[in-house]
Amino acid sequence: MYWNLLIGTKNTSIKNKLMISVSKSKLTGTVKVSGAKNSALRLLAASLLTSERIEINNFPNGLLDVAIHLEMLKALGKDYIISGDTITITEHQNLNSQLVWNDRSIRNTLLILGALTARLSEGRVPLPGGCNLGDRKYDLHVNALKTLGADVWEEDGYLCAKSKGRLIGNEIFLPIRSTGATENSIIMGSLAIGKTIIWNPHIRPEILDLIDMLNSMGAKIKVYGQKCIEVYGVEGLNGTRHSVIPDNMEALTWAIASVITNGDVEIENFPYSHLEVPLCFLRESGMKYYKGESSLIVHGGTPYPIEISTGPYPGINSDMQPLFAVYGAMSTGHSKIIDLRFPGRYGYVNELKKMGVEYHVDGDMLVITGGNELIGTKVEALDLRAGIALLLAGLTAEGETSIENDWQIQRGYENLTQKLSALQVNFKI
C-alpha cells in the first residue's frame, strides 16, 4: 500500500504519518502463512550469481523489503515479472558491479556485495540498513570477503570489494553462529576457485533453503550439521525454479495472537518442523493447538509466565523474543527473557510500558510482571519485530492502540491488512 512512497523517499516526517490503529479483538478464522522474508531476500541476492532465468514460487511479493530489493536488482541490470506469488527474474543487460542507490538501504546489501564480487570480481553497495539491533556490525562479512581474496573498504557511504580475478576458496572460521555471514560465505564460495569450508555455521531453515536453490542451479554444497559447510566452487551457475519455505516468524505471530486473544485460528502452510522448540515452550505455557495435515489450529488457551533465552536454531531466535514478551505480559506472574544474540534488545518494552506493561531490566535479563490490564494509546514501531509486538499487545488492550511507523511491520508481514480482516481484527489505517 505504501511501497512507492517509501521506496522513493527518506522523509521521516512522511513515514511517521503512516499509522495503523487496532482495538481489542478475538482472532477467529483462517490465515495462510506467506513465503519467508528472511529466505526470499537471500534468494534474490543469489539470483545475481547467474545471467539465466530464475523463477521463484510462494514468493512474498507484497513485502516492503522485497520491493526495495527488487528495485536494487533492477538498478544492477536485472528485470523481473510478478504474477501472484511467483516472480521471474531475468538479466536484460550486462550486470553492473556498482549499486547506485539514494533511498533506504537494507541489510541484504551485504549479500549483494558478496554475489557481485563472486561473479564480477568487484562490487560497490550502500552500507547496510535494516533494524537497529545494537551491536550488529558487518565485520564478519568483511572478514569472509578478505579470507577469499578480496580487498574491502568503505567509501562515501558505500562498502566496496575487489579481487584479482575469481575469489579463491579457503577456510572461513565464524566466531559466532551468524546467519548473514554464513549465507554470504556460501554465496561467495559457490563461484570461488576450489573448496571453501565454513566452520561454525548457523544452520537454520532459511540457510538450507538458500543451499537447496543454489544446488539446483549447479552449485556443489554439502552440509555437515552445525560443524561445517563445504562449498566446491564452480565456474558458472544455471537458472532454476524454486519454492520459498513458509515464514516461521509470521506463523508464530498468528499462533501467539490466537492465545492472547482467546481466539480460534487455523494457520495454513504452517512450518511445524521449523518451530518445534518454540511451540514446546508455548505448549508448556498454556497454548492449546492441534496439528493438521499442513496447518496448525490454535484454540485459545491461558498464557502462563515464560522463561526463555534466545539461541541458534532450532532454539528461540532473537526475532521471536518480542512476541514472547507480549505473551508473558498477558500471563499472571513474572516472565524472564535473556537475548544471548543481541544483549539488551529490549527497546520496544518502553513502548509497551505506555500501554501498561510493567517490567525491569536486570543486567541482560528482561523481567516482565504480567497480568496488568493494557490500555490503548499511541506508540511507535521502532523496528519490524517491535512493531508486530505492539500490534499484538493492541489486540488485548482496552481502547484504541495507534502504531506510528506501521511501515516497519509491513517490511516483514505480507498482505497484513487483508489477513487482519480475515481474522476479524478491529483495525483502521
Give the dihedral sign, CA 178/40/135/340: negative
Stated as kind and residue range, the H or E segment containing 139 is helix 139-147
Terminal alpha carbon distance of the chain? 11
Q: Give SS3 for 4.
A: helix
Stated as kind and residue range, the H or E segment containing 323 is helix 321-329
Q: Give SS3 for 297.
A: strand
Q: Which amino acid is at 317?
A: N
171: phi then psi, degrees, rounded to nearest 5: -95, 125
Active-site annotation holds for 131: yes
Stated as kind and residue range, the H or E segment containing 290 is strand 287-291
Dist CA 429 CA 417 (whole Å): 9
Dist CA 55 CA 227 (whole Å): 32
Which of 131, 160, 228, 280 does the annotation list as catalytic?
Answer: 131
CA distances from 27 to 72, 153, 292, 423 (A): 37, 50, 19, 5
Written as one string, the DSSP assignment of 390-422 is HHHHHTTSBSEEEEETGGGGGGTSTTHHHHHHH
Dist CA 201 CA 152 (whole Å): 22
Active site residues: 131
